[in-house]
Structure 1
Amino acid sequence: MNRENGEYQIEINGITHWIKVAGKENDTIPLFIIHGGPGGNLYTFERTVGPYLSQNRTVVYYEQRGCGRSGKPIDDNAYSMNELIDDFRGIIHWTGSETVDLLGYSFGGELALEFASNFPDLINKVILSGPSLINLKTQYMIQIAGFLSIASITLVNRIEEILQENTLIEHKYKQVWEIVDQETIDRLLFVDPDIATKYRQLVTESNLHNTGLMLEALQENPITPTLYERLNHIHHKTLIITGVYDRNTGIPISNLINRNLSNSEWILFNNSAHFPELEETEKFVSSVLGFLKA
């Protein structure tokens, strides 16, 4: 890789992308960190787990179009999977890397698999933490069931009323997310309330907001054939990390992905929910570094 440590604002496909390089001195295959959301950012990862990884690896952070510190497209619908894939192609070209490793969490795990599917010769190893499959109806049902398992009685009753309505699961899913409060979302995503509080503090500190435009665009314009249908064509060595209390994407999605990939291994984190990198940081870092060195 021919880029030095530091932050960059680079125009790719008409969008100014925020990119950061750390740990260049380690001279390893670059490890690209791919954030979730859809529509999230890397602010928290960059200030928690990232520095531990860049002590040993060359790490490249980048925020997707319309996310975090990157620029937004003029068209609110310009968040298709193909556009995200094409952006990543440009970012790899900008770094001058011949091959890269990927670490994607939540939706970032799904995106990492899309990159592996589209650039099989550029991708070396893939790490997925709590990966999603956002357009799989099972994903919607897992999250709704997750809310039911940790919500107050009042909220449970409201969710059950939504489930009884004669509407599509996608509509029910959106309705549920509209009525849940922050405390319930924290219980969905975390085991340790102190970690949830720290996470929310960093989110507030970042002053970065998810517009929801990317999620809406990806849901309305799914790529075909679906990633689920293409998993068995992805042959990269892959590590899947899942918190046993992950009620957001959950064990069922990780199991589905692991079962269909041809070269994957799966680790469960017994004291984590959706963010094992925050709730079991030491184990997460050692698992990632060990996998990359093997």
Structure 2
Amino acid sequence: MGDYLKITEGYLPFRGYQIYYRIVGDRQSELTPLLLLHGGPGSTHNYFESFDELSRQTGRPIIMYDQFGCGRSSIPDRPELWQASTWVAELQALRTALDLPAIHLLGQSWGGMLAIIYSCDYQPQGLKSLILASTLSSAQLWAQEQHRMIRLMPTSEQTAIAEAEQHHDFTGAAYQAANQHFMTQHASGPVTAADPEFLQRPKRTGTQAYQVAWGPNEYCPTGTLADYDYTDKLRQLQVPTLVTSGTDDLCTPLIAKTMVDQLPNATWTLFAHSRHMAFIDEPTAYFARLQRWLAAHD
């Protein structure tokens, strides 16, 4: 499609605050826009800039945004806001403000939870397809699977994590080193100079949003999302759904298969060399699969 890629950035109002959005490609394209929901809560859109190349190659408009409470969007000190209903309302406001009557919707990790809640509870119109990337339908199954993988770690690291959980103290050096090792194995490692600029760029992570909505780490859901379980509700989703995950993912094959078994119209692609972000670990394979999916369901 050529080297030039149109990028449109802006802010939209939401409950007296501002939400940052970024549109990649030409909105006048006949291709249905792909709307991206990032993880966290609070992880920002930055890693989704890896999708720019998909727009460049296909001409498909791609829309990403920093969810309320992180990144270039407003980050108020208001813990009572950090619950699913706030972010669903934000998603609805964004679709209205940007005039998005038809979309493909991709949610990664927490973003997939948001996509599931939105799709199951709000019956949105104009949803061409759903892409559930390394996500979950049950917070408790997620915690169970993370603890299973922790039991595969060195004994000293298992002990450090167990003691931190027992005492609700996640500040110790031994715990933090063990948690970093766990996350490097199953999510992503420390950013290096070899990584793309959008991963190296400093970002305002939504720490309060994450801790209030989810918890202190990936395996202790204690926040407003602790009781999240949409496994049975997935049966009502007739929209074509692509589930993606990696073999070394926080979203283990059991977590992914639990969703696929309930979804009436789902396909699952498991990436052999990926952790929690297959579009970062295996971009060529991931975007080739996604491009075929979107073209087949436009």
Structure 1 counterpart of 2:16, from 10, 14, 32: 14
Q: CA deviation at 1:19?
A: 0.6
Take 2:169 and 2:141, find their aligned partners in 1: how far apart are those partners?
13
- The structure with the largest helix share of the pair is 1
For 1:185, the equivalent position in structure 2 comes to 183
Normalising by structure 2, we get a TM-score of 0.82
For 1:158, the equivalent position in structure 2 comes to 160
1:129 paired to 2:133: yes
Q: CA deviation at 1:74?
A: 4.8
Letter in 1 for 2:83: S
Q: CA deviation at 1:284?
A: 0.6
Take 2:186 and 2:197, find their aligned partners in 1: how far apart are those partners?
17
For 1:110, the equivalent position in structure 2 comes to 113
Take 2:274 and 2:267, find their aligned partners in 1: how far apart are those partners?
18
1:64 paired to 2:62: no
For 1:138, the equivalent position in structure 2 comes to 141
Structure 2 counterpart of 1:82, from 77, 82, 85: 85
Secondary structure in 1 aligned to 2:68?
A: coil
Identical-pair percentage? 20
Take 1:156 and 1:285, find their aligned partners in 2: how far apart are those partners?
36
Alignment length (residue pairs): 280
Q: CA deviation at 1:216?
A: 1.9
Secondary structure in 2 aligned to 1:227?
A: coil
Q: CA deviation at 1:235?
A: 1.3
Take 1:62 and 1:122, find their aligned partners in 2: how far apart are those partners?
19
Take 1:100 and 1:18, find their aligned partners in 2: how far apart are those partners?
19
**74-83 or 27-36, which deviates more:** 74-83
Normalising by structure 1, we get a TM-score of 0.83
Say if 1:144 and 1:173, in contact at 8 Å, map to a contact too.
no
For 1:209, the equivalent position in structure 2 comes to 205
Say if 1:49 and 1:278, in contact at 8 Å, map to a contact too.
no
Structure 2 counterpart of 1:55, from 38, 48, 57: 57
Per the alignment, do residues 13 and 198 of structure 1 end up closer, same or farther by CA in structure 2, a change over 3 Å counting? farther
Q: CA deviation at 1:259?
A: 0.9
1:235 paired to 2:231: no
Say if 1:240 and 1:267, in contact at 8 Å, map to a contact too.
yes
Say if 1:195 and 1:279, in contact at 8 Å, map to a contact too.
no
1:27-86, CA deviations, whole angstroms, 9 ceiling, x for partnerless residues?
32110011001211111221x233324532111111110021111245222022111111
Unaligned runs of 5+ in 1: none
1:163-218, CA deviations, whole angstroms, 9 ceiling, x for partnerless residues?
8x6x9xxx69999975634344212225xx69887569855522322314344235
Take 1:65 and 1:147, find their aligned partners in 2: how far apart are those partners?
31
The correspondence of residues 3-42 of structure 1 with structure 2, limited to 5 A, is: 5-24=7-26, 26-42=29-45
Say if 1:44 and 1:199, in contact at 8 Å, map to a contact too.
no
Unaligned runs of 5+ in 2: 1-5, 215-221
